Amino acid sequence: MSDTPRSPPRYVPTLTEVVPAATIVPDLDLDLAAQPDLPLPEGTGSIQEHVIHRVMERVDALIEQRLTDAVSALVQEHFKALEPRLREEIETVVRQAVSDAVVEELALGGASDL
């Protein structure tokens, strides 16, 4: 075998520049609940409070929207279940009111006007 390096074919990409190794950036999206409570440096209390406030604003808005949707769906579902009973009750009340009005009218002698 030959010890002379072979040059690759023209269509094979070759390294033309040496790139330094990337510096490792710490992942900022760590699960904070999994981290032990370490004392924070001075001045970070206000930052922490600000972050908590911002997260709670987002959570509140999300919860409010989801709760509104859930309650709306639940009310709609219950209304559909109650609708036949409500219609039946309304019909009964209307029939009774009309019947009472007719009886009252007949008792007053208004039957000659009908």
Percent of the chain with pLDDT over 70: 69
The pLDDT score that the predictor gives to residue 110 is: 59
Residues 6+ apart with CB under 8 A from 8: 14
The pLDDT score that the predictor gives to residue 9 is: 75
Residues 6+ apart with CB under 8 A from 111: 105
The DSSP code sequence of 55-80 is HHHHHHHHHHHHHHHHHHHHHHHHHH
The pLDDT score that the predictor gives to residue 90 is: 95
pTM, rounded to two decimals: 0.37
Residue 97 CA, chain-centre distance (Å), reads: 47
∠ CA 69-71-73, rounded to 5°: 70
Pairwise CA distance, residues 77 & 66, whole Å? 16
Task: Please identify every stretch of the chain with a pLDDT value under 70, giving residue numbers as ranges.
Answer: 1-3, 15, 24-44, 110-114
